[in-house]
Structure 1
Amino acid sequence: MLGIYFSGTGNTKHCIELFIKELDAAAKCISIEDASVLDEIRKSDFIVLAYPIYFSNLPKIVRDFIFQAGTRAKP
């Protein structure tokens, strides 16, 4: 299990870390801004995505990450 997050202030990071540890103590969390995030995605069979809500929508950086990761994550 892998927790992937974007956190501007640290609140989302804190929440995803607590949530993931409750589900699987051995799981790890990684920021979408980390250089190795795509490698970690390839290794994982279960992913939880967390991000803050901006004006009832997801942040542009998260939307861009999802689209770009989808095209680059293929083996």
Structure 2
Amino acid sequence: MIDLNALAAANAKCWANAKLTRNFASVARHLVAANAKTHYQAVSAKTGVPWAVIAVIHQRECSQDWGGSLAQGDPHRR
């Protein structure tokens, strides 16, 4: 059986020692820019998913390209 206390301690140690490998400030600024935030809030209103979560997923899947799917980044057919 897994020792959950040991696992929690190991995870806490990993997070405490984590270091960013590059500067994400410019990406973060784009994610919260007024025009982007408005789009994410509209999606949030329809889905119930917090807009910040949608923004991060959108960045991860398609680099904030609204021509790509939020689910997996594939381009929408036009």
TM-score (norm 2): 0.27
Structure with the higher strand share, 1 or 2: 1
| The structure with more radius of gyration | 2
Higher RCO by CA contacts (8 Å cutoff, separation 6 or greater): 1
Structure with the higher helix share, 1 or 2: 2
